Structure 1
Amino acid sequence: MKAIRRFTVRTVLPPQLAGLDTLARNLRWCWHEPTRKFFESLDPQAWERSGGDPVAVLGEITPARFEQLAADATVVLEAARLVEELNQYMTEPKWFQSIFSNTDKPASIAYFSAEFGITAVMPQYSGGLGILAGDHLKSASDLGVPITGVGLLYGAGYFRQSLSRDGWQRETYPLIDPNNMPLTLLREQDGMPARISLPLPDGRTLAAQIWVAQVGRVPLLLMDSDIPDNDDISRSVTDRLYGGSAEHRLEQELLLGVGGVKALRVYSRLMGTPAPEVFHCNEGHAGFLAVERIRELMESDSSVDFGAAIEAVRSGTLFTTHTPVPAGIDRFDKSIVRHYLSAMPLPGVNVDEVLSLGNESYQGGNPHVFNMAVLGLRMARMANGVAQLHGKVSRGMFAALWPGFDVPEVPITSITNGVHGPTWRNPGFQSMALEYMAETDDADGTGWLKSEEEGGVPDVVLWEKRRSLRAALVEVARARTRASWLERGASPAELGWTESILDPDVLTIGFARRVPTYKRLTLMLSDPERLTRLLTDPERPIQLVIAGKSHPDDEQGVGLIQKLVQFADNAEVRDRIIFLPNYDMALAEVLMPGCDVWLNNPLRPLEASGTSGMKCALNGALNLSILDGWWDEMYDGNNGWAIPTADGVEDPGRRDHIEAAALYDLIENTVAPRFYDRDERGVPRRWMEMMRHTLATLGPKVQATRMVRDYVERLYTPIAAASRVIDAAPYEKAKELAAWKHKVRSAWPGVRVDFVEAEVPDVAELGDEVSISAGVSLAGLEPTDVHVQLVSGRVGADDRLEDFDISNLNPAGEKHGHQVFTGTEKLSASGSVGYAVRVVPFNPLMAGDTELGLAANAEPSAVTAHTHTSFGD
């Protein structure tokens, strides 16, 4: 008979080892190698069985074994030392405390995400979004940034992937018991579990309890609806990640956004922590956090109307978009959203007004859907993409929300993703580095460029370390391949071949990620015969280690996996190409350090950022990638290879064929020869130069600490400053800004540029000045309500300005019933140049001139050019 529930009964810890519970419950152990090694030493077999979970290890140790450990002075002293080190880590000043010594620093930041990839023993992630969120929290902890994470606790996490005999992906959902995980249930002062709840349609209520995962210095709040307070439907809201119907997903996102704000308030009340000044919405799943914050503000202060509440909430909100494809955005039928929002009304606000925040009310939009990304953008003071190219793509993708401006002016900036170094750099590789260089030399990359004579890591040592990482990957790949085939129904007697697949001395190329079609898992199979020749080359063979999951509803993606698996099953190549099912953090921690080359071949520019190649680079691997995501801005010609793209080729099949041929050519004629070209010591000298260059230059750039510092300095700090002004009782500035925006929107149809007079030299030269005078009708607005701007730069196709500069003209009084604005501009570019004049709303409380999306542009017929030194009347 099967158990209907599984849980762990733990032995009571001896007083000498009481600190082990603190060590196990703080997830810093997942990136602190000494703590991991210590727990492994307590019971190596239990550590292996648990997949490296300290909580599970403590649950398996018997009382007799604990008595032995408590009597071992070495164990007791090491436990005490690690506890003291953790306490110091939790309390000592970090970068944030030393840099931000004044009152401008954000007091607290709330970071909302639908998934968090912290450790493999907490499977609360599906892919890059979750891993990025986990690395964000870890790096914030290392830097001392006061962040609180907010998410959901999924009863089955994402699915476990296996393969059928014919290579079709199969999904199972093993249940997770939070009591057996490094989590603590948040409780009220009377010991009862803390609860939050939100009303649902038809008189239902969705309640959740709150689990806290301590990620170093950062608390992560995870809401769990599987509690007796709920009916059966509500209990299943947090059953699995990205599963279920549209209504199921909507309920999850309401719990994440609305419930997440409530959970923050409960946590702050119980723990005495400051209320967040910045709310960071990591992708649109948590967008409803803005609706809840509007509700609580309007309920707490009846003098604040809907418009003022929007301004107060916007002032403290950041939105990060991660998708470069419209299909990746959550869009719900508006009637379903109306049904749910009607159950949680805002005081005196019609539900259609709330729905307007997510309306696609722009050219090309669908008036019948509610768009979560649009909600996120409309309710954020600032927004960003996750790589420079992705920011550019996002500006084009969402440009319709700012119809008065050119795409480059759309207010979506970029902060390129990074990865948490202590998590993703192999501990053995890190130990080798620190044996030869100081930690600072490793961190800034300079140590990797030192020669052996200067005390740097010798080529032979570095190359042997790389081989050991490759060998570790081969060992894990063999074991996982055998286990996979047993699940597929093979007999142990027919699996002897799995003991010799792959070779620790062969050029190893890795490819692992989610499997939507645009990531092109099977591009490498475009010419199976040529790929076979590369795999089986007698002198310069390659081997491929591949992994990835496709969403169960994505039949195309699942079909791509089957196609790849069926090719890899062929006896001619199966010792040189393998697909490893159930890609997770545990596999990634072996796969990425063990590869020599990391392959990434998405359809450009559809990769938002991608971070797997960054993790490889931290371990000395080279990247072989389409110039997309982070690689587009960080490839420099010496840290790997760029796969040429067939941009502009509209036939997808032909484009794939062209780019696959370029990939084969690079591997065959450049990558493989460089790997196998060895000196008298067996070391590939040119390869080593590229590896050292990668470690020296990419190493510092790809760190998530760099990313989090960018967020703090460029986004969190200015947003916190705005929040203190606008989102502060009695909310006078929010009311003022809302009233001003209403006035401007009402007047704007009548705002226009009536004339532009320009004094341009007969023969214009660099450094000459152009004088401009513009007459403007303001339709009742004041000159202080606008900026009249001179936009000047090079003229490209269709007479459009490119690489333009913007300067504000100065108010110069009235002339013939017009408000006149004047100014001069020095010519700083040669060639074909031009200018335009426009009027935009201005208020010092706004984040920028583009905030309202309004602009009144001068028509060419309004321009009079002069070649004399004064303007006529």
Structure 2
Amino acid sequence: MYNILGPNGRKIAYFSMEIGLNNEMPTYSGGLGILAGDTIRASADLGLPLIAVTLLNKKGYFMQRLDSEGRQTEHHQDWSPEDYMELLPYEVTVKIQKRDVKVKAWLYEHRSLTEEKIPVLFLDTDLEGNFSDDRQITHSLYGGDRRYRLKQEMVLGIGGVRMLNSLGCSISKYHMNEGHSSLLAIELLRQNGMNAERVKDHCVFTTHTPIKSGHDVFSHDIVMELMEDYVDFETIKKYGGEYELNMTVLGLNLSNYVNGVAKRHREISQEMFPGYKFSSITNGVHSYTWVSSHFRKLYDQYLPGWANEPELLVRVRSIPDNEIWDAHKSAKKELIDFVNSKCDANMDYDTLTIGFARRVTEYKRPTFIFSDLKRLKKVNDAGKIQLIFAGKAHPRDTMGKVFIERIHQYAKELKGEIEIAYLENYDMGIAMKMVSGVDIWLNNPQKPLEASGTSGMKAAHNGVVNFSVLDGWWIEGCVEGVTGYAIGPKPEVEKPPEQIRIMELDDLYNKLEYIMIPMYYNRKDEWINLMNNSIEMIAYYFNTHRMMHRYVTEAYL
């Protein structure tokens, strides 16, 4: 047994395709990985006996470069794992396409403010003796074709379980963070004499998306080509799907506890996968990580202990309003200076600043605010606004790339009236500046396709006001006019999609023009009250400490 385990041997194994723990380690692409990182941080704070398993991704996700027209190109993000972690002296093999693929693990230890440590295993196949193609399995996050993806998921699920065994881990629960790691359940079946009930007792499955394409599916031809020597075909069909291997179905069939990541997402998941029982544990964010240095100082002074007890943020009213506002102004200045240095922008500190940053894809509707430029200009006449965007489009998401180009076109078209900037290569560092430095956090996905969303929670921790469609977590977090504002009708309103869209656009423009802009410019005390409400009523609850308490009591015990 290696000494990373501690006296308990680690009872919870947390598997995730991507984990974002360090901005210099490009081992994440977006929300799923950042959530996984926050989960590990909170688990360390709480002293949970958890060990995490993921893939190394030696070439990262990709480095985004944008030209003056907004055309995205992707570049490898080479990095050196030895600068951050230690290669362990253990090796396991996974049979892929009739070949024994060797797998090693790098150890990264996350240490919390409480000095508790969580070990994270980054699996690596780039080893001497492996076939050339096999060495590349752990190179690129979400890269390659379907065969490449299935190979990655075999290494993660099967190789991950075997690596934990080689380390001498005593695992009582295997938590699959999305379907990418579901093959661990097949490995557990093999190790438990094909006793499905015993495997279910050990497995927890969390699904993260209501989008059909977000659930990994592999044809049986590919499965048998890569896994023929590993498991019999009838087992795959029995637990993963009669006509194709659906990784979500596999996880559902071999887990006793299954959950969505918001109350609304639980309902959508039940509709997508009828016959399965879903619970819901709404996501959170790691409070200390996502609070800017300016607000950290305030919280440290007035709310001692908040970093490990974020529920203390409910007492934010003990902080004088002028100090809340000064902290926000400092964070905003930092963001505006950064934007002006990186972009061809002329933003100022006093203008109402709206932020939109997330993965760029069609259902997130990144150009929604530009749907009616005449209305948008009228909004700007009521009180000047400026817009900051950021986000990567997946290399194969042609429409996502088009949206980035369109935003650049709007920036040129509106130059001199509304200042618009697009920050390239969105990462954790840029996210921190944006969620703390803007005045309004905008989110307008197409309902009901937002499973949860967490960026708005980060914004609320910094007193930034949320303005969002009622989907995902915001259904639970929005108290209209108190914690922020909703865009469009409630989910229960049943109208044709185009009519819903019209209602959302009206709400977007009208609330900006008639409510939010006048309040920001003319009634600053009311605006600061909104900021306080965001911290008091959102941040105190929508955090990973609360989330992990729920997982422990409902899923792990």
With normalisation by structure 2, the TM-score equals: 0.94
Q: 1:208 to 1:391 in 2, by over 3 A?
A: same
8 Å Cα contact 1:421/1:704 also seen in 2:
yes
Query: Which amino acid counterpart does residue 448 of structure 1 have in structure 2?
Result: V
1:379 to 254, 268, 285: 254
Answer yes or no: is 1:458 the counterpart of 2:361. Answer: no
8 Å Cα contact 2:284/2:454 also seen in 1:
yes
Alignment length (residue pairs): 544
How much does 1:341 deviate?
Answer: 2.3
Measured against aligned partners, the alpha-carbon deviations of 1:391-423 in whole angstroms (never above 9, x if no partner) come to: 111111101xx2xxxxxxx41000000000110
How much does 1:605 deviate?
Answer: 1.3
> 2: CA distance between counterparts of 1:471 and 1:173?
32
2:402 to 559, 581, 595: 559
Answer yes or no: is 1:640 the counterpart of 2:449. Answer: no
Answer yes or no: is 1:340 the counterpart of 2:208. Answer: no
Q: For residue 270 of structure 2, what is the aligned residue in structure 1?
A: 395
> 2: CA distance between counterparts of 1:134 and 1:357?
29
Q: For residue 815 of structure 1, what is the aligned residue in structure 2?
A: none
How much does 1:649 deviate?
Answer: 4.0
Superposed, 1:497-508 pairs within 5 Å as 498=345, 501-508=346-353
Q: 1:318 to 1:545 in 2, by over 3 A?
A: same
8 Å Cα contact 1:156/1:239 also seen in 2:
yes
Q: For residue 425 of structure 2, what is the aligned residue in structure 1?
A: 582
1:138 to 41, 44, 53: 41
2:68 to 165, 168, 172: 165
Q: For residue 48 of structure 1, what is the aligned residue in structure 2?
A: none
Q: 1:692 to 1:228 in 2, by over 3 A?
A: same
Answer yes or no: is 1:115 the counterpart of 2:18. Answer: yes
1:324 to 190, 210, 235: 210
8 Å Cα contact 1:532/1:573 also seen in 2:
no
3-state DSSP of counterpart to 2:425: coil
Query: Which amino acid counterpart does residue 707 of structure 1 have in structure 2?
Result: M
Measured against aligned partners, the alpha-carbon deviations of 1:329-370 in whole angstroms (never above 9, x if no partner) come to: 10111111122221213xxxx4223332110x5xxxxx2x21
How much does 1:574 deviate?
Answer: 7.7
Question: Mind listing any 5+ residue stretches in structure 1 that lack a counterpart?
Answer: 1-25, 27-89, 92-96, 98-104, 188-193, 269-273, 299-305, 362-366, 403-409, 450-455, 483-497, 679-683, 718-873
> 2: CA distance between counterparts of 1:584 and 1:624?
22
8 Å Cα contact 2:287/2:310 also seen in 1:
no
Structural RMSD (CA)? 2.1
> 2: CA distance between counterparts of 1:238 and 1:557?
25
Q: Which has the larger radius of gyration?
A: 1
> 2: CA distance between counterparts of 1:258 and 1:329?
19
Answer yes or no: is 1:254 the counterpart of 2:149. Answer: no
Query: Which amino acid counterpart does residue 642 of structure 1 have in structure 2?
Result: A
> 2: CA distance between counterparts of 1:387 and 1:593?
24
1:205 to 91, 100, 103: 100
Q: For residue 866 of structure 1, what is the aligned residue in structure 2?
A: none
Answer yes or no: is 1:234 the counterpart of 2:134. Answer: yes
Query: Which amino acid counterpart does residue 667 of structure 1 have in structure 2?
Result: L
Superposed, 1:736-815 pairs within 5 Å as none
> 1: CA distance between counterparts of 2:369 and 2:120?
40
Q: 1:260 to 1:662 in 2, by over 3 A?
A: same
Answer yes or no: is 1:293 the counterpart of 2:188. Answer: yes
8 Å Cα contact 2:294/2:328 also seen in 1:
no
How much does 1:294 deviate?
Answer: 1.6
8 Å Cα contact 2:125/2:138 also seen in 1:
yes
How much does 1:570 deviate?
Answer: 3.2
Answer yes or no: is 1:532 the counterpart of 2:428. Answer: no
2:313 to 437, 441, 445: 445
3-state DSSP of counterpart to 1:629: coil
Query: Which amino acid counterpart does residue 411 of structure 1 have in structure 2?
Result: K
> 2: CA distance between counterparts of 1:513 and 1:427?
22
> 2: CA distance between counterparts of 1:279 and 1:712?
12
Q: For residue 185 of structure 1, what is the aligned residue in structure 2?
A: 87
> 1: CA distance between counterparts of 2:16 and 2:150?
15
8 Å Cα contact 1:113/1:282 also seen in 2:
yes
Question: Mind listing any 5+ residue stretches in structure 2 that lack a counterpart?
Answer: 112-116
Query: Which amino acid counterpart does residue 65 of structure 2 have in structure 1?
Result: S
> 2: CA distance between counterparts of 1:207 and 1:442?
43
Q: 1:426 to 1:547 in 2, by over 3 A?
A: same
Query: Which amino acid counterpart does residue 172 of structure 2 have in structure 1?
Result: E
Q: 1:228 to 1:166 in 2, by over 3 A?
A: same
Measured against aligned partners, the alpha-carbon deviations of 1:67-125 in whole angstroms (never above 9, x if no partner) come to: xxxxxxxxxxxxxxxxxxxxxxx99xxxxx9xxxxxxx996100000000112111111
1:699 to 525, 539, 548: 539
Answer yes or no: is 1:357 the counterpart of 2:239. Answer: yes
Q: For residue 23 of structure 1, what is the aligned residue in structure 2?
A: none
3-state DSSP of counterpart to 1:641: strand
3-state DSSP of counterpart to 2:473: helix
Query: Which amino acid counterpart does residue 85 of structure 2 have in structure 1?
Result: L
Q: For residue 457 of structure 2, what is the aligned residue in structure 1?
A: 614
> 2: CA distance between counterparts of 1:521 and 1:392?
26
Q: Which runs of 4+ in 1 moved over 6 A?
A: none
2:118 to 183, 208, 218: 218
3-state DSSP of counterpart to 1:569: helix
> 1: CA distance between counterparts of 2:417 and 2:358?
21
Q: For residue 753 of structure 1, what is the aligned residue in structure 2?
A: none
> 2: CA distance between counterparts of 1:153 and 1:431?
35
1:631 to 462, 465, 474: 474
> 1: CA distance between counterparts of 2:124 and 2:545?
30
Higher deviation after alignment, 523-532 or 113-122 = 523-532
3-state DSSP of counterpart to 2:413: coil
Answer yes or no: is 1:279 the counterpart of 2:181. Answer: no
1:479 to 341, 344, 356: 341
3-state DSSP of counterpart to 2:139: coil
Query: What's the % identity of the aligned pairs?
Result: 37
Q: For residue 674 of structure 1, what is the aligned residue in structure 2?
A: 519
Query: Which amino acid counterpart does residue 21 of structure 2 have in structure 1?
Result: I
8 Å Cα contact 2:262/2:282 also seen in 1:
yes
How much does 1:651 deviate?
Answer: 4.8
With normalisation by structure 1, the TM-score equals: 0.60
Q: For residue 114 of structure 2, what is the aligned residue in structure 1?
A: none
Q: For residue 548 of structure 2, what is the aligned residue in structure 1?
A: 708
8 Å Cα contact 2:94/2:103 also seen in 1:
no
Measured against aligned partners, the alpha-carbon deviations of 1:259-301 in whole angstroms (never above 9, x if no partner) come to: 1101111223xxxxx4110000000000000111122233xxx
3-state DSSP of counterpart to 2:353: strand
Query: Which amino acid counterpart does residue 131 of structure 1 have in structure 2?
Result: I
How much does 1:211 deviate?
Answer: 0.3
Q: 1:446 to 1:414 in 2, by over 3 A?
A: closer
Q: 1:525 to 1:380 in 2, by over 3 A?
A: same
8 Å Cα contact 1:545/1:578 also seen in 2:
yes
8 Å Cα contact 2:174/2:202 also seen in 1:
yes
How much does 1:461 deviate?
Answer: 1.9
> 1: CA distance between counterparts of 2:484 and 2:218?
42
> 2: CA distance between counterparts of 1:282 and 1:439?
30
> 1: CA distance between counterparts of 2:546 and 2:374?
44
How much does 1:148 deviate?
Answer: 0.4
Q: 1:116 to 1:574 in 2, by over 3 A?
A: farther
3-state DSSP of counterpart to 2:343: helix
